[in-house]
Amino acid sequence: MAVGVDIWQVKVAFGALEVLKGVDLNIAPGELVTLLGASGSGKSTLLNVVAGLLQADSGDVAFDGRSVQDLAPRDRNIGFLFQSYALFPHLTVAENVAFPLRARHRDKKTQGRVTQQMLDLVHLGEAGGRKVSTLSGGQRQRVALARALAAEPAVLLLDEPMAALDKHLREEMQVEVRRIQRDVGITTISVTHDQTEAMTMSDRIAILREGTLVQVGSPEECYMRPADRFVATFLGEANLVPLTDRAGSGGTAVVRPENYTVETNLAAPAGPYSATGTVRLVSYQGARCRVEVTAETTGELLVASVAGTVDRAGLAPGAPVRLRCLEPDKVHVLT
């Protein structure tokens, strides 16, 4: 039932500005792939090309192996969730959800039945008669999702779906949208600049930088084995430790802050990827403590994120410390 989406060599330029420089991406049926990138990376442009709201200069997009490049958005059978939700303000909640069914000339009985199913799916079964303006932000997003899914589209496209929600609601809706996407089993492409959201929701993350895909992989792969320095620092925090001491191999080790612990006893033997330096700042963050250290060799900032609390008295600014790597086998080396 679910269809795969294939993106081949999609290029888009606005005047002299190349926004997408030939992007290839294959999405399996039922998979949720997040396009992650900073603003200007081309992620929204790619989503609009898949939706047909923007025409690519070259390349092709196929649903289920058939090119949709020449189809208008309304003929692509997609559901598109806008950042601003774009609910029709003059229609009720139920009329909004029924809109795609009406556009497809479904009979009134089917419209009513499917609309109720969709509202139940997003836990708004009682809200059908309400005006859109009376809904909260989270409720509006649920209605927009119900509307996007009502006509059983082949592909669901989410454009910064959580951007307009506050932090608490955002985390709740990330899990909720993921649940609904799994239940419906619909192939989904989401766009975000929020790495936590990408990690939480996705089967795979596709990281875009300046119009080029730099890495595609599961959240674990991208986090544990980043393709390059950009991905390493963009997806979570990373200490990039140069490995010049290894017979001139010249690689860079990616050590995550949670893989470092802080030792004040410099006499103990040093392990792999450890580093010495002086304390710059200690900040208490609840479940973890964040210790910033100026590296002795490079002068760069290194960060350790230690579970629980640390002995803050021994970590006054300027105190000499060693950062010891807890699990050296989890360190990824970039060559």
Could you list the residues that contact another protein (CB under 8 A)? 51, 53, 72-80, 82, 84, 86-90, 99-100, 102-104, 131-133, 147-148, 151, 157
Secondary structure, 3-state, 22-61: EEEEEECCCCEEEEECCCCCCHHHHHHHHHCCCCCCEEEE
Nearer to another protein, 7 or 98 (CB): 98
**Least distance from another protein to the Cβ atom of residue 185, Å:** 20
**Least distance from another protein to the Cβ atom of residue 102, Å:** 8
Nearer to another protein, 147 or 209 (CB): 147
Residue 226 tokens read as 């980043």
Nearer to another protein, 72 or 316 (CB): 72
Residue 316, judged by CB atoms within 10 A of its CB (0-12, 13-18, 19+), counts as exposed
**Least distance from another protein to the Cβ atom of residue 47, Å:** 11
User: What type of residue sits at position 177?
Assistant: V
* Sole residue written with tokens 């992650």: 36
- Are 219 and 202 spatial neighbours (Cβ–Cβ below 8 Å)? yes
Contacts of 222 (CB under 8 A, 6+ apart): 205, 207, 215, 231, 235
- Are 218 and 229 spatial neighbours (Cβ–Cβ below 8 Å)? no
Nearer to another protein, 92 or 196 (CB): 92
Nearer to another protein, 7 or 205 (CB): 7
**Least distance from another protein to the Cβ atom of residue 181, Å:** 17
CA distance 189 to 206: 10
**Least distance from another protein to the Cβ atom of residue 81, Å:** 9
**Least distance from another protein to the Cβ atom of residue 9, Å:** 24
Nearer to another protein, 101 or 222 (CB): 101
3-state secondary structure of 69: coil
**Least distance from another protein to the Cβ atom of residue 90, Å:** 5
Nearer to another protein, 24 or 75 (CB): 75
> Taking the mean position of all CA atoms in its chain, how far away is CA 195?
5
* Sole residue written with tokens 């269809």: 3
Nearer to another protein, 65 or 89 (CB): 89
**Least distance from another protein to the Cβ atom of residue 83, Å:** 8
Residue 32, judged by CB atoms within 10 A of its CB (0-12, 13-18, 19+), counts as buried
> Taking the mean position of all CA atoms in its chain, how far away is CA 79?
19
